[in-house]
Amino acid sequence: MDSKDKAILALLQDDARRTTAEIADAVGLSFSPCARRIKKLEADGVIASYQVTLDRQRIGLNMTFFVNVSLSNHREEAIVTFEHALVEMDEVINGHVISGTYDYLLEAVTRDLPHYEAFMRQLQTLAMVKDINTNVAIRAVKQGAALKV
């Protein structure tokens, strides 16, 4: 990956709706070589996907929670079952296996506290869940930052 590829990636992270012609102009390439570079970055998996970022409040998801979860056991079946359940929960927008006191850190969004309570009950009914600790986000200071390339 050279400086032109890095510049292309920075521009796409800033605004993925830019046209190839706009990107080519900004990085000092003609259209065809720029288009080939973008296709190669996609084919190589460097560009994993293109997404739209929605305003959570405008679509009614007013609350963000960071949820730490510990499992009662770490057998493969329990882990697979738990992770499959997380994938199916619409409230969970990010989930990470972590080190430390807890096994997982989840980012969950809901409309309000009653909907969060319903989500918590889903988590609590999973047999392998031992402990849950929740932090409520007051406001975002930084989110969705571009990756430095």
10-residue mean pLDDT series, the chain (149 residues):
96 95 97 98 96 93 97 96 97 97 98 97 97 96 90
* Res 144: pLDDT: 86
Alpha carbon distance 132, 40 (integer Å):
43
Compute the C-alpha angle 110/62/51, nearest 5°. Answer: 80
Beta bridge partners of 109: 64
Q: Quote the crossing angle between the two packed helices 3-14 and 31-43, to the nearest 10°.
A: 80
What is the H or E stretch that residue 40 is in?
helix 31-43
Q: What's the first-to-final CA gap in the chain, in angstroms?
A: 10
Supply the pTM of this predicted model: 0.86
* Res 26: pLDDT: 97
